[in-house]
């Protein structure tokens, strides 16, 4: 039995008591019955809205799970078509060459050195690297594989 049906049942019981609707008690019981009926309908509407929200939330959770699966798959270097093991210098956590990915991510957050950013002239990819990589004199673009060389010599005129 739903809340609306229970309210209607109680309203019927109140009418069956034989109280005159024009009397003080009849007016009170009539107002209480109307209030109970209105509340029951409101509760039923709220329950329907709650079910709609729950279904929408379930749909969003499924979509989020799907997106997480896509993103997590991208984190695995074996899923990259252009990934080359020879390019791995062991300094990035996404390449798999450095061992523990979580540990490396923490190290990136704690890094206090200088970070350099360059844009690959071939593909336009922005590449970030540290001083150690700069001192090596070159870096390969992770997007297109182009070798970017750095001239660290100082020109003295």
One pLDDT digit (tens) per residue for the chain, 157 residues: 899 999 999 888 888 888 888 999 899 999 999 999 999 999 999 999 999 999 999 999 999 988 888 887 665 555 445 545 555 555 555 555 545 444 444 444 556 677 888 899 999 999 888 888 888 888 899 999 899 888 777 655 5
Token look-up 């074996």 returns: 78
Q: What is the domain extent for residue 100?
A: 86-149
Residue ranges in the chain assigned as alpha helix (H): 3-16, 24-75, 101-110, 131-136
Specify if 93 maps to a domain: yes
Instruction: Looking at the structure, tell me whether residues 71 and 105 fall in a common domain.
Output: no
- SS3 category, 124: coil
Instruction: Looking at the structure, tell me whether residues 92 and 61 fall in a common domain.
Output: no
C-beta contacts of 66-70 below 8 A and 24+ residues apart? none
Specify if 48 maps to a domain: yes
pTM of full prediction above 0.95: no
Instruction: Looking at the structure, tell me whether residues 110 and 140 fall in a common domain.
Output: yes
């Amino acid at each position: 039995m739903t809340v609306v049906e229970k309210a209607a049942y109680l309203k019927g019981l109140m009418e069956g008591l034989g109280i005159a609707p024009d009397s003080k008690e009849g007016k009170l019981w009539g107002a209480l019955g109307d209030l109970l009926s209105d509340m029951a309908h409101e509760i039923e509407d709220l329950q329907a809205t709650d079910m709609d929200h729950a279904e929408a939330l379930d749909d969003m959770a499924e979509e989020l799970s799907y997106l997480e699966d896509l993103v997590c798959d991208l984190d695995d270097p074996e899923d990259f078509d252009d990934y080359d093991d020879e390019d791995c210098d062991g300094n990035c956590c996404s390449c798999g060459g450095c061992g523990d990915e979580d540990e490396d991510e923490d190290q990136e957050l704690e890094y206090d050195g200088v970070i350099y950013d360059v844009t690959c002239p071939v593909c336009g990819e922005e590449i970030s690297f540290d001083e150690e990589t700069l001192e090596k004199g070159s870096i390969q673009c992770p997007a297109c594989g182009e070798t970017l060389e750095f001239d660290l010599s100082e020109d003295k005129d």
